[in-house]
Amino acid sequence: MNKPQVPAAHNVLRILSLLSTTDAPISATRIQRELELPRSTTYHLLRELEDSGFVVHLKNPGTYGLGLAAYRMSQAYTTQQPLVRLAAKPLARIAALAGGSAHLTRLAGSEIVYLHEVRSPGAVSLVTEVGVRLPALATASGRIMLAYLPDAELRAVFTSSGERRRYSEVKAQLIDVREHGWESECEEVSRGQESVAVAVLDHLERPAAALAATFPVGSTDKQALLGALEDASARLRTQFFGNR
């Protein structure tokens, strides 16, 4: 193997690669040992990675795991055009069933980004166009994805969200959301409209995206709509990430 031209960059990538293959956060000592790095180099690189958000330092028990910046990069990869293409037909059917619109979103820090939207004939124009960003905690799609984040990542999202409620209140709400397996909102985003959403989980049980439908308040059978969303989510997961 050729000697790397930029050793620091090479070692940063090695650290990120190691953290991505572990099931739980690990200590700096283990990182140093497995990568055969000098102790000072290990801590300097970890500090830089932590400052830039690619690594999270869990003070107790003093371990390191991947941070939000690294997760955003993986999210961007997994939710590019292949997932959008796979979701297009199911979303069209769901929009028709809802008599409104259906959309695919992903997390981007404390916000969600709309990747694809389908409107049924006659559906009203909403703010949920492709590329639009909304606060994750203010949407059904955002909350269902946040509900599947590890506590350390959820805390980081909460801190940067500007949310006025206490973290304990938000956490309790999201625990309920996860137990239900879906989330809804009524007129929180658009007047006269309500939404239901489910998460698309990857092979690690992390939220890769969310599927949602928006429709006039009280105008449709919500349970039938949820069934269609859950079926589409399961199919997308199998097609994109393989069997569990």
Task: Provide the pLDDT for residue 178.
Answer: 96
Domain with CATH 3.30.450.40 in the chain: 73-241
Taking the C-alpha atoms of residue 144 and residue 178, their distance in angstroms, rounded to an integer, is 7
Architecture of domain 7-66: Orthogonal Bundle (1.10)
213-233 residue pLDDT tens = 999 998 888 899 999 999 999
Taking the C-alpha atoms of residue 114 and residue 136, their distance in angstroms, rounded to an integer, is 11
Q: What is the pTM of this model?
A: 0.67
Q: What is the share, in percent, of the chain residues with pLDDT greater than 90?
A: 57
Q: Say if residue 129's pLDDT is above 60.
A: yes
Domain with CATH 1.10.10.10 in the chain: 7-66
65-84 residue pLDDT tens = 988 888 777 766 655 578 88
Structural fold of domain 73-241: Beta-Lactamase (3.30.450)
Q: Quick one: average pLDDT of 157-174?
A: 89
